[in-house]
Amino acid sequence: MLIRLYALPEPSRPGGAEFADNTVVRKPIGCEHGLLVAWVQAEFGAGWASEARVALQNRPASLLMAVQGGQPIGFVCYDATARGYVGPIGVQASARGTGIGGELLRAALEEMRTVGYGYAIAGAVGAADFFRRVAGAIEIADSTPGLYAGRLQDRR
Ligand SMILES: CC(C)(COP(=O)(O)OP(=O)(O)OC[C@H]1O[C@@H](n2cnc3c(N)ncnc32)[C@H](O)[C@@H]1OP(=O)(O)O)[C@@H](O)C(=O)NCCC(=O)NCCS
């Protein structure tokens, strides 16, 4: 899906750096990287953990996380699958539906706009309505599987 970074919809609920039960959206510092990647792997699997590692290696890191009570409860990457891509994005199941995913996605897209992108691409979208609602994303014709065609499969 394609996202116009210059025409993002207004948030449907109040957000900000701190919202919803003291949840904070921020970048991890170095000593948090290992714990964060382990959490992504446990919650969402090896592929997303691999993309989180890529995002954390970028300078500046292109990953934001949502933290509640000292624990990660959500994350979003950009420039991880490939340059200009946003995602993966995930919120732990018990915290979904409270605005955290929307806040994470908006934060990542605002950062992409700040660093100079005009558009973002969301690939292999598993929650198209979420991207439509939060970011005004539109389909890109003939782009499935797109970049993911022929990717390595885990046969272990
Ligand atoms: C998709 C995901 C990140 C959304 O996070 P969330 O914290 O539940 O989302 P929010 O509560 O911020 O919802 C934001 C808006 O999107 C809507 N929304 C959220 N998930 C949706 C879905 N799966 N389908 C349609 N709309 C959705 C909400 O209703 C809300 O709309 P509103 O602002 O008008 O009330 C979360 O469900 C998730 O981690 N899913 C599993 C991983 C996944 O599929 N990631 C996307 C891969 S492309």
Q: Write the CATH number for 105.
A: 3.40.630.30
Q: pLDDT tens for the chain, 156 residues: list them.
A: 999 999 999 987 665 545 666 899 999 999 999 999 999 999 999 999 999 999 999 999 999 999 999 999 999 999 999 999 999 999 999 999 999 999 999 999 999 999 999 999 999 899 999 999 999 999 999 999 999 999 999 888
Whether residue 64 contacts residue 27, with contact meaning beta carbons closer than 8 Å, is answered with yes
Domain that holds residue 81: 2-9+16-140
| Secondary structure tally for the chain: helices H, strands E | 4, 7
Residue 30 lies in a domain: yes
Query: Letter for the amino acid at 108?
Result: A
Residue 25 lies in a domain: yes
Residue 147 lies in a domain: no
| Cα of 87 from ligand 1 centre, angstroms | 13
How many domains are there within the chain? Answer: 1
Residue 151 lies in a domain: no
- Considering only CA atoms, which residue is closest to atom 35 of ligand 1? 12
> Is residue 26 within 6 Å of ligand 1 at its C-beta?
no
Q: How many CB atoms lie within 10 A of CB 94?
A: 8
Pocket mutation for ligand 1, best pick of 2, 73, 81, 130 (most atoms within 8 Å of C-beta):
130
Residue 22 has which token pair? 């003291």
> Is residue 101 within 6 Å of ligand 1 at its C-beta?
yes
Residue 145 lies in a domain: no
Give pTM, 2 decimals: 0.95
Residue 148 lies in a domain: no
Report helix angle 100-115 to 128-135, nearest 10: 60
Whether residue 56 contacts residue 18, with contact meaning beta carbons closer than 8 Å, is answered with no
Residue length of the chain? 156
